[in-house]
């Protein structure tokens, strides 16, 4: 797959477009359903690809999305950057 550039601005712009189309996309679960459906429609329109090739690509996209999810989750939940470890107790 090619290299892509995600930014907060891109994510917010896409979410705003979805919300203009359907205010229910303020619910993240609804927003990701739209994105998933769009992925299916766009893949269905890939010219010169068989259904099996499109499904294989969809599986690759799932793996990619899974890795992005894991990386993003870990980044958001990583411990604060400091040198302290444990709890100091006076001797």
- DSSP-assigned letters across all residues of the chain: -------HHHHHHHHHHHHHH-GGGGSHHHHHHHHHHHHHHHHHT-TT--HHHHHHHHHHHHHHHHHHHHHHHHHHTPPP--S--S-----
Domains identified in the chain, total number = 1
The string of pLDDT tens digits covering residues 11-69 is 999 999 999 999 999 999 999 999 999 999 999 999 999 999 999 999 999 999 999 99
Flag whether 88 is in a domain.
Answer: no
Is the predicted pLDDT of residue 1 greater than 60, yes or no?
no
Flag whether 86 is in a domain.
Answer: no
Flag whether 83 is in a domain.
Answer: no
Q: What is the pTM of this model?
A: 0.76
> Domain residues for 37?
8-75
């Amino acid at each position: 797959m090619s290299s892509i550039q995600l930014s907060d601005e891109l994510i917010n712009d896409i979410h705003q477009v979805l919300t203009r189309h359907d205010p229910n996309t303020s619910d993240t679960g609804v927003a990701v359903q739209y994105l998933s459906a769009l992925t299916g429609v766009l893949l269905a329109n890939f010219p010169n690809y068989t259904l099996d090739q499109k499904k294989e690509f969809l599986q690759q996209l799932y793996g990619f999305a899974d890795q992005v999810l894991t990386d993003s989750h870990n980044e958001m939940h990583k411990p604060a950057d400091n040198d302290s470890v444990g709890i100091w107790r006076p001797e």
